[in-house]
Amino acid sequence: MTLAVHHVAAGTAAVLVSLWLLRGRWTHSHPRAALVLWQLSSLALIVSVVGALLSFGLEPFGRGLLPALVDLPWRFQELDLWHLGAVGLGLAVGGWLVVNQLLCLRSTARARARHRLLLQLVATQESEEQGRDALVVDHPVAVAYCLPGRTPHIVVSAGARQLLTDEELDAVLAHERAHARERHHLVVAPFQALRRLLPGSALLTRVCSTIELLVEMCADDRAVRSRGREPLASALERFRANGNGAGTPAGAMPVADAPVQARIQRLRAPEGQRLPLAWPLACLIAAGALVTSVSLFAVPL
């Protein structure tokens, strides 16, 4: 039972850290630090949930988790229904999570390959006179994005070029380059895969959009370093105003307004909050929970 208790304790610690992250206002000032903590605590939570189920179920064997799992096919008739159920659930949850991540990776890779192919067929390379490397798609909708991959592409639509001044466009491109260089899609992907597993979960949706917002803020920070705050803020402002301009009949696009507002706010009036002293402590707790849970799998008892 000690094993299961340890896992539950690790999971509780991870949950507490996540709750602190969801509530904290400092995260907008230090998106990178918050992202690291998010990744640590989420991984710790998942490992400890699977670990708790398995260690409860395999407890009658009186061995460490991995040796007990190896023994399972020969000795499962020694377990009663409750323990067998816990083992089954633990294995199912663990397997399901891994398979889901792989499936999502595959479907995303396919969507990206298709997108890359179409870009190659219809997009034009922007003239290089201003040192820009973006692809332009000739369409009046205003959009700018980064297609991640081995050779990432930065794409702007003709609508976005028309909407933005040169200075703003440069800031937007710097933002997209930051996404590409820092491989932000790899940060977001595991959380999006989780959300796809439970599409109805309000909590997961909220966590996901928090992560997406933090990633955007990281890229904003990077762009600000080379292009200054104001062009980026006014570019965001223009995007927001443009989308809301039309009337909103049924089937209107939900323009994600609050996150954009938060980004403009922190660009125009940075709060300059210092990293809370609790951050290293929270990192330590989350990392400790993760290490505890993972090592409990290996420790023979």
Partner 1 sequence: MISVDGTATSTAERRKGHKPHPCARRSWLNFRWTHGERVDVAKLGELERAVMEVLWARAEPATVRAVHEELSDRDLAYTTVMTVLTRLAAKGVVRRKRSGRAWLYAPAATREEYVAELMLEALEMTGDRDSALVRFAQSVTNDEADALRKALERGESP
Token readout for 172 is: 């937007």
For tokens 């940075």, name the residue: 270
Q: For residues 47 and 146, which CB has a smaller minimum distance to partner 1 in the complex?
A: 146
Centre a 10 Å sphere on the Cβ of residue 189 and count the other Cβ atoms it contains. 16
Chosen residue from 133, 138, 166, 271 binding partner 1 by CB under 8 A: 138
Chosen residue from 33, 144, 211, 213 binding partner 1 by CB under 8 A: 144
Site string for partner 1, 68-87 (x = CB under 8 A): --------------------
Site string for partner 1, 215-234 (x = CB under 8 A): xx--x---------------
Are 48 and 8 in contact by the 8 Å Cβ rule? The answer is yes
- Residue 262 and residue 28: Cα distance in Å, rounded? 8
By the rule CB under 8 A, 146 interacts with partner 1: yes
- Residue 21 and residue 73: Cα distance in Å, rounded? 41
CA separation, residue 168 to residues 16, 34, 227, 261, 267 (Å):
40, 28, 9, 17, 14
Stretch that binds partner 1, among 17-25, 110-118, 271-279, 280-288 (CB under 8 A): 110-118
For tokens 């490397």, name the residue: 133
Chain positions 185 to 214 lying near partner 1, rule: CB under 8 A, are 185, 188-189, 192-193, 196, 199
- To partner 1, the closest distance from the beta carbon of 11 in angstroms equals 27
- Residue 82 and residue 80: Cα distance in Å, rounded? 6
By the rule CB under 8 A, 142 interacts with partner 1: yes
Chosen residue from 32, 63, 112, 268 binding partner 1 by CB under 8 A: 112
The sign of the dihedral angle between the CA atoms of 4, 77, 85, 103 is positive
Are 238 and 161 in contact by the 8 Å Cβ rule? The answer is no
Q: For residues 94 and 242, which CB has a smaller minimum distance to partner 1 in the complex?
A: 242
By the rule CB under 8 A, 104 interacts with partner 1: yes
User: Residue 156 in 3-state DSSP?
Assistant: strand
By the rule CB under 8 A, 32 interacts with partner 1: no
Q: For residues 13 and 187, which CB has a smaller minimum distance to partner 1 in the complex?
A: 187
By the rule CB under 8 A, 255 interacts with partner 1: yes
By the rule CB under 8 A, 145 interacts with partner 1: yes
- Residue 145 and residue 135: Cα distance in Å, rounded? 10
By the rule CB under 8 A, 246 interacts with partner 1: yes
By the rule CB under 8 A, 247 interacts with partner 1: yes
By the rule CB under 8 A, 56 interacts with partner 1: no
By the rule CB under 8 A, 235 interacts with partner 1: yes
Token readout for 17 is: 């850290």
Dihedral of the alpha carbons of 107, 111, 116, 119, in degrees to the nearest 10: 180
- Residue 149 and residue 131: Cα distance in Å, rounded? 21
Binding residues vs partner 1 (CB under 8 A): 104, 107-108, 111-112, 115, 117-123, 137-148, 155, 157, 163, 172, 175-176, 179, 184-185, 188-189, 192-193, 196, 199, 215-216, 219, 235-236, 238-249, 251-253, 255, 260
